[in-house]
């Protein structure tokens, strides 16, 4: 028993000796790492101390510079105030007028206007600096010609709404007989009633319509009883040059014994959208006319007849065909009309019935819907052989197929085509076919495409391949090469595969193909995902 006990002691001794040896090795390693860390910490502390010194020096320098800046600003302000104070009234007047004569970034052109609060406040700011500035500002009527009012909602504070009314009345008073710029974009305003401030502001501005130069008026969608605004547009507008009037989506046509805008000799551009304000006696200088109203056909023909000699651009939007869908009583010639845009079944039927009674000798730009091509086939053959730019808009139930391609063949001089519509592969099959000579669109230079309805995209590169071959071969009737193709707005099931885009780039040149995506940050990266989704759908069907 004594021997066994000694044996255990020896084993315990050996184990403790081994553990001590390992501990000595570990302690030496830790001591070395501590020495290194202590050295690193010392270096870091030295660097930190140096940075602290730099921060203190920078703060001190900053205090000195800030003090210098403040002193210089005070000197400049004093000098500037003294210089401005010594300016003669004539120079100060020119400065005031220059501040309000620049372009308005919120209202670059008629049709897209936004209220510019800075422009609206400018004359009031200038007139509030001092008595001298006020006297000069009040005498300059051109400072007070911007009558812009933002949308007024029911939840706006009454004090703010009253302030708009007072501001408008002040502008109208101080502008005197100066030409006015009127901007009332109230399409989303609250219900419009005779007692509302919106209506009061409108009446105040309408009382000065003989001073309008530019007017863009979007009336509230909901009009209360007794607040119909149309009679207000029966006054004279001798200074008016550009005007847009937009009513409610639900407005119905109402005739009037008195003409609208009876005297507007300077009017160059007129937009009438969903309201019955169609002049019976159009301006002698009218160049651009856009009509979107469900008016009787004879009223529309009468308006066009009055403006026919000077009109250069016409946009006609009419959804419902009229029962009196008759052509104009006499030949209606548009000697200067270069741009024509049609939208709606009513517009296409109206033009189709009037094809034999109208003349468009210089028409260069045409825009229409895919659903119109059947009604306008004779019109295209008769009046569109000189068209250079063609835009075909989408229609929910009408695609561009082979029949539509053949209907568009008469446009032999077109150079720029935008197909913002669902294009069937048969459209390009028909465009490639030589069964009908000459080539479709032989002078085509630029083509913009929006979407396809089929997954067989080979027809597109086949069209360019055949066209290139015919262009290289030359001869009578040979087409020219397409210089630019734009893929626009691809999305969903209509996305063009990458191999098709690559083939088109190969045929036309990399620099001659552009892509404009509407619904994806990087659409090319999603092609594989869409292919996987298609495979999953096929597997589920199986």
| Alpha helices per DSSP H over 336-458 | 345-353, 377-383, 402-407, 425-432
Which of 390, 277, 284, 375 minimizes the C-alpha distance to 325? 375
Query: Which has more confidence, 85 or 130?
Result: 130
- Give the chain's mean pLDDT: 82
Torsion of the alpha carbons at 65, 68, 74 and 79, rounded to the nearest 10:
-120
pLDDT of amino acid 225: 55
Q: Can you tell me the distance from the alpha carbon of 81 to that of 312, in angstroms, rounded to the nearest whole number?
A: 52
329 secondary structure, DSSP code = S
- Residue range 469-486, pLDDT digits in tens: 888 888 777 888 889 988
Q: Can you tell me the distance from the alpha carbon of 498 to that of 505, in angstroms, rounded to the nearest whole number?
A: 11
pLDDT of amino acid 495: 65
pLDDT of amino acid 529: 43
pLDDT at 538 over 60: no
Identify the weakest region by mean pLDDT among 26-40, 98-112, 215-229, 348-362.
Answer: 215-229
Tokens standing for 407? 């209907």
pLDDT band at residue 158, thresholds of 50, 70 and 90?
Answer: low
pLDDT at 70 over 90: no
pLDDT at 176 over 70: yes
Angle 215-219-224 from CA coordinates, rounded to 5°: 145
Q: Can you tell me the distance from the alpha carbon of 451 to that of 438, in angstroms, rounded to the nearest whole number?
A: 26
Q: List residues bridging with 227 in a β-sheet.
A: none
| Cα→Cα distances 49→42, 458, 490, Å | 11, 72, 60
Q: Can you tell me the distance from the alpha carbon of 424 to that of 411, in angstroms, rounded to the nearest whole number?
A: 20
| Alpha helices per DSSP H over 87-140 | 89-101, 117-127, 131-139
Mean pLDDT of 326-331: 87
pLDDT of amino acid 5: 77
pLDDT at 54 over 80: yes
pLDDT at 535 over 60: no
Domain boundaries, the chain: 388-542
- Residue range 122-137, pLDDT digits in tens: 999 999 888 889 999 9
pLDDT of amino acid 7: 81
Name the maximum alpha-carbon separation found in the chain. 140
pLDDT of amino acid 14: 85
pLDDT of amino acid 206: 92
Q: Can you tell me the distance from the alpha carbon of 415 to that of 482, in angstroms, rounded to the nearest whole number?
A: 9
Query: Which has more confidence, 172 or 423?
Result: 172
Are 152 and 125 contacting, i.e. CB atoms less than 8 angstroms apart?
A: no
Q: List residues bridging with 212 in a β-sheet.
A: 180
pLDDT of amino acid 537: 43
**Total length of the chain:** 542
pLDDT of amino acid 520: 42
pLDDT at 420 over 60: yes
pLDDT of amino acid 144: 96
Q: Can you tell me the distance from the alpha carbon of 391 to that of 370, in angstroms, rounded to the nearest whole number?
A: 10
Identify the weakest region by mean pLDDT among 105-114, 150-159, 238-247, 404-413.
Answer: 150-159
Are 314 and 272 contacting, i.e. CB atoms less than 8 angstroms apart?
A: no
489: left (phi over 0), alpha (psi -120 to 50) or beta: left
- Residue range 515-533, pLDDT digits in tens: 765 544 443 444 444 444 4
Instruction: Give every CB contact of residue 497 below 8 A, 6+ residues apart in sequence.
Output: 457, 527
- Residue range 239-269, pLDDT digits in tens: 999 999 988 766 666 666 678 888 889 999 9
**The dihedral sign for the CA sequence 293, 296, 301, 306:** negative
Query: Which has more confidence, 256 or 415?
Result: 415
Burial of 341 (0-12, 13-18, 19+ CB in 10 A): middle
Q: Can you tell me the distance from the alpha carbon of 405 to that of 245, in angstroms, rounded to the nearest whole number?
A: 37
Q: Can you tell me the distance from the alpha carbon of 371 to that of 492, in angstroms, rounded to the nearest whole number?
A: 23
Q: Residue 55 half-sphere exposure, CB side, CA atoms within 13 Å? A: 6
pLDDT band at residue 68, thresholds of 50, 70 and 90?
Answer: confident
Q: Can you tell me the distance from the alpha carbon of 211 to that of 241, in angstroms, rounded to the nearest whole number?
A: 11
What radius of gyration, in Å, describes the C-alpha atoms of the chain? 38
Q: Is the pTM of this model over 0.85?
A: no
Identify the weakest region by mean pLDDT among 153-157, 213-217, 265-269, 304-308.
Answer: 153-157
Q: Can you tell me the distance from the alpha carbon of 417 to that of 398, in angstroms, rounded to the nearest whole number?
A: 18
Burial of 249 (0-12, 13-18, 19+ CB in 10 A): exposed
Mean pLDDT of 39-44: 87
Q: Can you tell me the distance from the alpha carbon of 42 to that of 20, in angstroms, rounded to the nearest whole number?
A: 32
Q: Can you tell me the distance from the alpha carbon of 368 to that of 394, in angstroms, rounded to the nearest whole number?
A: 9
pLDDT band at residue 156, thresholds of 50, 70 and 90?
Answer: low
Are 290 and 312 contacting, i.e. CB atoms less than 8 angstroms apart?
A: no
Instruction: Give every CB contact of residue 443 below 8 A, 6+ residues apart in sequence.
Output: 412, 413, 414, 415, 479, 480
Instruction: Give every CB contact of residue 392 below 8 A, 6+ residues apart in sequence.
Output: 367, 368, 369, 370, 400, 408, 417, 418, 419, 420, 421
pLDDT band at residue 178, thresholds of 50, 70 and 90?
Answer: very high
Q: What is the DSSP string of 133-181?
A: HHHHHHH-GGGG-EEEE----TTS-HHHHHHHHHHHHHHHHHHTTSPEE
Mean pLDDT of 165-189: 90
């Amino acid at each position: 028993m004594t021997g066994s006990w000694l044996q255990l002691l020896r084993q315990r001794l050996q184990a403790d000796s081994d553990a001590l040896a390992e501990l000595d090795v570990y302690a030496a390693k830790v001591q070395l790492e501590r020495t290194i860390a202590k050295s690193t910490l010392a270096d870091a502390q030295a660097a930190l101390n140096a940075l602290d010194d730099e921060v203190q020096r920078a703060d001190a320098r900053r205090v000195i510079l800030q003090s210098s800046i403040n002193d210089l600003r005070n000197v400049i302000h004093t000098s500037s105030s003294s210089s401005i104070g010594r300016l003669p009234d004539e120079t100060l007047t020119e400065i005031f007028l220059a501040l309000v004569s620049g372009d308005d970034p919120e209202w670059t052109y008629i049709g897209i206007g936004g209220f510019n609060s800075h422009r609206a406040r400018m004359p009031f700011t200038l007139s509030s600096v001092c008595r001298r500035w006020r006297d000069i500002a009040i005498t300059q009527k051109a400072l007070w010609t911007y009558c812009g009012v933002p949308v007024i909602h029911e939840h706006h504070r009454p004090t703010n709404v009253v302030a708009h009314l007072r501001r408008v009345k002040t502008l109208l008073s101080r502008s005197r007989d100066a030409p006015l710029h009127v901007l009332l974009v109230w399409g989303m305003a609250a219900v419009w009633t005779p007692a509302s401030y919106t209506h009061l502001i409108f009446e105040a501005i309408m009382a000065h319509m003989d001073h309008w130069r530019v007017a863009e008026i979007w009336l509230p969608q909901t009009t209360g009883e007794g607040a119909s605004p149309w009679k207000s547009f029966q006054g004279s507008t001798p200074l008016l040059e550009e005007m847009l009037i937009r009513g409610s989506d639900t407005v119905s046509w109402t005739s009037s014994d008195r003409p609208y805008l009876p005297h507007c000799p300077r009017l160059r551009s007129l937009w009438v959208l969903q309201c019955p304000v169609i002049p019976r006696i159009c301006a002698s200088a009218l160049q651009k006319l856009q009509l979107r109203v469900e008016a009787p056909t004879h009223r529309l023909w009468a308006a066009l007849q009055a403006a026919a000699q000077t009109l250069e651009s016409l946009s006609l939007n009419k959804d419902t065909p009229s029962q009196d869908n008759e052509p104009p009583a006499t030949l209606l010639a548009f000697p200067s009309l270069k741009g024509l845009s049609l939208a709606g079944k009513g517009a296409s039927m109206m033009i189709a019935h009037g094809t034999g009674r109208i003349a468009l000798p210089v028409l260069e730009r045409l825009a229409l819907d895919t659903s119109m091509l059947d009604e306008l086939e004779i019109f295209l053959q008769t009046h569109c052989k000189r068209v250079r730019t063609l835009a075909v808009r989408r229609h929910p139930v009408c695609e561009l197929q082979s029949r539509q391609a053949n209907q568009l063949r008469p446009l032999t001089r077109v150079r720029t085509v935008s197909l913002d519509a669902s294009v069937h592969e048969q459209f390009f099959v028909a465009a490639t076919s030589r069964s009908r000579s000459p080539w479709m669109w032989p002078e085509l230079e630029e083509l913009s495409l929006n979407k396809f309805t089929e997954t067989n995209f080979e027809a597109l590169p086949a069209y360019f391949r055949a066209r290139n071959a015919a262009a290289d071969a030359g001869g009578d009737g040979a087409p020219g090469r397409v210089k630019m193709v734009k893929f626009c707005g691809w999305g969903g099931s209509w996305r063009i595969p990458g191999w098709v885009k690559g083939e088109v780039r190969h045929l036309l040149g990399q620099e001659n193909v552009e892509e404009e995506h509407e619904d994806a940050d990087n659409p090319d990266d999603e092609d594989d995902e869409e292919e996987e989704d298609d495979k999953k759908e096929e597997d589920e069907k199986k």
